[in-house]
Structure 1
Amino acid sequence: MRRVTQMKFGAGMHVFPGGRLDARDADTSVPIVGTPDPRVSQGDVALARELLVCAVRETFEESGVLLASGAEVLRAASDANRMTVDAGGSLSAVLNDHQVSIPADDIPIWGHWVTPEFQTRRFDTRFYVVELPDGQEPKDVSGESDGAIWVRPEDGLRQRYAGEMPMMIPTATTLSELSKFSCVAEVLTEARRRVIQPLLPFQDPDTSQWTLLHAYERSEVDYESKEFILDQVDAVKKGLVAGE
């Protein structure tokens, strides 16, 4: 999705569907099968559940894709239901009315990022991966975007470097990591075995050098994409690629 240029943060950037937690995400009547991935919240079970519900709700609101399982999923994913939820209505009611549920075990976390401290607007963000449910296709329905496309990870990166698809560093890093796999099944297998750390790009005030920290513990992390991330930070700061 490409964020509209009027947005205060990430204007014109290509992003994945998503958004912030709201009170509806704490609704314990939302039907979930399986266990929400505890790595998203350092073991906080209640928060893991809320974050999963948020991811499903925001994906539904912004793309029309309902990440749920059950015989009536396609009816539950109707445009009318999407608009109801997008307007502040109950995701729980939509799911329960159609006797469908969120398949927690099929939606593992992929990454966890915290915005660098030099930014005026900061976020604590999780990225999930999931296989597109049968019979559903994403739609350009979000009021926060002015376009939506499917793109192969390697093609997205190529367009970014060509100046055709600006994106933030976490998005670019995720595409770089996903480009190493040949199919969705491989991605999901990798997602379930990954060590998840909240990543914080950090600039040392004394040396001006960038490093990658554990956002909560403030310790330097050993991460497979660390070199790529720091190269991206440097490229953005030098104006070689668009990003935040």
Structure 2
Amino acid sequence: MSTVASDNLIPSASLILVNECNEVLLVQRSTRTRSFAGMHVFPGGNFDTGRDTSLAITAIRETFEETGVLLASPMSPQALSKSDLERDRSAVHRQELDFQAFLLRHKCVPALKSLHPFTTWITPLTSSRRFRTQFFISFFPTCLEEHSSGTGIGRVPTTDGGEEVQSTCFLHPRVAIAEFKKGNINLAPPQYYILETLRQLLPGDVQTPEEREKLILLSQRPFGRLVIRPRLYQDPVSSATMFLYEGDELRGGPVGQLHRVLVKQNGTVFLEINLQRNFDIFKVDVSEAPGTTATKL
């Protein structure tokens, strides 16, 4: 897995953490942050060559910094105290304590095998800062081993004191989509796309083994390694604005195949996002689709 930026792309990682109620962990970014200010996103951040050995480690570290949830297994039965955890979390966040040193101090092993690739997104050409973000999906809390006390490591997500995150919450994908449509939360197209995908695959409020296996299977199919390079396009007839994705008919895909979102924006805020995707994501591989035939805006 590449962690080297290319074409001035900033490598980053985000974690889609699904709990036993089929709810997904979302954080609301502080309005003071440089990127995605005020938006609801999955926890994550930029790959740090001095602290991270892989994008999976980036996802685990950033999730710990932003929410206090640590995807790691203790090598000893002694539980981490809440005060020690929060003290060291703050030190890691401020880069006063190396994350690897933190793991060694508390004899924790990052739960790398619990992370499954779930698409990669590249920021559109229209943006001044562009990222190559690897999304991973994992499951909470059963991705963690339990301490002898019966509690996990940082099971209750909390903010980082407002430095980057002003709120955290677990929301079912259908609730998150509904709240976005009501204007109560702000989402960007990648987060909307993933939440809408999960909404279709996780209909109930109690996760079943079959649902979990289906998501893991999807991560192992071409969908999991799909690199999405959105192309902004305005329909010359309807004037509708949309982002075209790999395999869409306007990007060289089969006639009638849709892989796009229609959007309405007010500056950087998305007022409306509607996903149009009419193929089976378990069967159709659009990762090698020909280049776009649409005009870029």
TM-score scaled by structure 1? Answer: 0.74
CA displacement, residues 65-116 of structure 1 (integer Å, 9 cap, x when unaligned): 1111134585187112211211212111121222221222211111210111
The 8 Å contact of residues 168 and 242 in structure 1, kept in 2 or not, is answered as: no
What's the counterpart of residue 121 of structure 1? 129
Aligned match for 2:110, one of 91, 94, 102: 102
Deviation at 1:220, TM superposition (A): 5.4
Q: Within 5 Å, which residues of 2 pair with 1:199-210?
A: 199-203=228-232, 210=243
The 8 Å contact of residues 243 and 261 in structure 2, kept in 1 or not, is answered as: yes
Q: CA separation in 1, counterparts of 2:139 and 2:33?
A: 29
The 8 Å contact of residues 112 and 197 in structure 1, kept in 2 or not, is answered as: yes
Q: Return the index of the structure with the highest Cα Rg.
A: 2
**Structure 1 167/149 Cα, relative in aligned 2: closer, same or farther at 3 Å?**
same
Q: Within 5 Å, which residues of 2 pair with 1:46-61?
A: 49-61=53-65
Larger fraction in helix: 1
Q: Within 5 Å, which residues of 2 pair with 1:74-113?
A: 74-75=79-80, 78-88=85-95, 89-113=97-121
Q: CA separation in 2, counterparts of 1:76 and 1:221?
A: 54
RMSD of the TM alignment (CA)?
3.1
**Structure 1 156/242 Cα, relative in aligned 2: closer, same or farther at 3 Å?**
same
User: What secondary structure sits across from 2:245 in the alignment?
Assistant: strand
Question: In structure 2, what residue type is equivalent to 1:16?
Answer: F
**Structure 1 74/173 Cα, relative in aligned 2: closer, same or farther at 3 Å?**
farther
Q: CA separation in 2, counterparts of 1:75 and 1:21?
A: 26
User: What secondary structure sits across from 2:46 in the alignment?
Assistant: coil
Deviation at 1:221, TM superposition (A): 6.8
Deviation at 1:204, TM superposition (A): 5.8
Aligned match for 2:178, one of 135, 140, 158: 158
User: What secondary structure sits across from 1:131 in the alignment?
Assistant: strand
**Structure 1 159/206 Cα, relative in aligned 2: closer, same or farther at 3 Å?**
closer
Deviation at 1:206, TM superposition (A): 11
Q: Within 5 Å, which residues of 2 pair with 1:1-244?
A: 1-26=27-52, 49-72=53-76, 74-75=79-80, 78-88=85-95, 89-133=97-141, 135=152, 136-141=155-160, 142-182=162-202, 183=207, 185-186=212-213, 187-195=215-223, 196-203=225-232, 210-213=243-246, 227=259, 229-231=260-262, 234-236=263-265, 241=271
Q: CA separation in 2, counterparts of 1:68 and 1:192?
A: 22
User: What secondary structure sits across from 2:69 in the alignment?
Assistant: coil
Q: CA separation in 2, counterparts of 1:104 and 1:203?
A: 35
Deviation at 1:197, TM superposition (A): 1.8
Q: CA separation in 1, counterparts of 2:218 and 2:73?
A: 22
Deviation at 1:240, TM superposition (A): 6.8
Q: CA separation in 2, counterparts of 1:221 and 1:53?
A: 35
The 8 Å contact of residues 25 and 50 in structure 1, kept in 2 or not, is answered as: no
CA displacement, residues 109-159 of structure 1 (integer Å, 9 cap, x when unaligned): 112101111112211111111112352121122511211111100100011
TM-score scaled by structure 2? Answer: 0.62
Question: In structure 1, what residue type is equivalent to 2:62?
Answer: E
Identity of counterpart residues, as a percentage?
25
Q: CA separation in 2, counterparts of 1:193 and 1:76?
A: 40
The 8 Å contact of residues 202 and 211 in structure 1, kept in 2 or not, is answered as: yes
Structure 2: runs of 5 or more not aligned = 1-26, 145-151, 274-297
**Structure 1 60/17 Cα, relative in aligned 2: closer, same or farther at 3 Å?**
same
The 8 Å contact of residues 189 and 261 in structure 2, kept in 1 or not, is answered as: no
User: What secondary structure sits across from 1:230 in the alignment?
Assistant: strand
